[in-house]
Chain A
Amino acid sequence: MKAKEIQDLIDYIAKSGLDEVNIETEDFKIRVKKNAEYSAPAPVVASAPSSPAPTSAAAPASAPAPAAASTPAPSEDNLVAIKSPMIGTFYRAQNPESPAFAEVGDKVTVGQTVCIVEAMKLFNEIESDIAGTIVKVLVDNASPIEYDQSLFLVDTSK
Chain B
Amino acid sequence: MESISPDTLFIGQSYIYLPKCHSTNSYLMDLIHKKHLAEGQIVLCEEQTAGRGQRGNVWVSEPKKNLTFSLLLKPTFLLASDQSLLNMVVSVGIWRALAAFIKEDLRLKWPNDIYISNKKIGGILIENNLSARSIANSIIGIGLNINQSYFPLDSATSLKLENHQDYDRRIILHRILKEIEAQYLKLKSGNQAALKQNYLERLLGFKNVVEFQDLKDGQFFHAFIDDVDDQGRICLKLPNQKLLKYDVKEVKMIL
Interfacial residues, chain A to chain B (CB-CB below 8 A): 85-87, 89, 91, 94-96, 111, 113, 117-127, 129, 147
Q: Which residue from B54, B83, B136 sits with its C-beta under 8 Å from A119?
A: B83
Residues of A contacting B130 with CB < 8 Å? 85-86, 117, 124-127
**What are 11 contact pairs spanning A and B, CB under 8 A?**
A85-B132, A85-B133, A87-B231, A89-B249, A96-B55, A120-B247, A120-B248, A121-B126, A122-B126, A123-B126, A124-B135
Residue B87 CB within 8 A of the other chain: yes
| Residue contact A113 to B111, C-beta cutoff 8 Å | no
Residues of A contacting B120 with CB < 8 Å? none
Task: Give min CB distance, A115 to chain B, whole Å.
Answer: 10
Q: Which residues of B, 2-56, contact A by the 8 Å Cβ criterion?
A: 26, 29, 33, 52, 54-56
Task: Give min CB distance, A111 to chain B, whole Å.
Answer: 7
CA distance A98 to B29 in the complex (A): 14
CA distance A86 to B132 in the complex (A): 11
| Residue contact B87 to A120, C-beta cutoff 8 Å | yes
Task: Give min CB distance, A96 to chain B, whole Å.
Answer: 6
CA distance A85 to B56 in the complex (A): 24
Residues of A contacting B240 with CB < 8 Å? none
6 cross-chain pairs, A with B, having the tightest CB-CB distances, nearest first? A120-B232, A123-B127, A124-B128, A85-B80, A86-B80, A125-B129
Binary CB contact string for chain B from 222 to 251 against chain A (1 if under 8 A, 0 otherwise): 000000000111000000000000011100
Residues of B contacting A96 with CB < 8 Å? 55-56
Beta-carbon nearest neighbor of A91 in chain B? B55
Residues of A contacting B249 with CB < 8 Å? 89
Task: Give min CB distance, A58 to chain B, whole Å.
Answer: 33
Residues of A contacting B80 with CB < 8 Å? 85-86, 124
Task: Give min CB distance, B228 to chain A, whole Å.
Answer: 10
Interface size on B, residues (CB 8 A): 32
CA distance A89 to B250 in the complex (A): 13
Task: Give min CB distance, B64 to chain A, whole Å.
Answer: 26
Interfacial residues, chain B to chain A (CB-CB below 8 A): 26, 29, 33, 52, 54-56, 80-81, 83-84, 86-87, 111-112, 125-133, 135-136, 231-233, 247-249
| Residue contact A121 to B54, C-beta cutoff 8 Å | yes
Q: Beyond A85-B80, A125-B130, is A120–B231 a contact (Cβ under 8 Å)? A: yes
Q: Beyond A85-B130, A89-B249, A129-B132, is A123–B55 a contact (Cβ under 8 Å)? A: yes
Beta-carbon nearest neighbor of B137 in chain A? A125
Q: Beyond A85-B130, A124-B128, A125-B130, is A118–B55 a contact (Cβ under 8 Å)? A: yes
| Residue contact B55 to A95, C-beta cutoff 8 Å | yes
| Residue contact A111 to B81, C-beta cutoff 8 Å | no
| Residue contact B29 to A125, C-beta cutoff 8 Å | yes
| Residue contact B112 to A121, C-beta cutoff 8 Å | yes
| Residue contact A125 to B128, C-beta cutoff 8 Å | yes
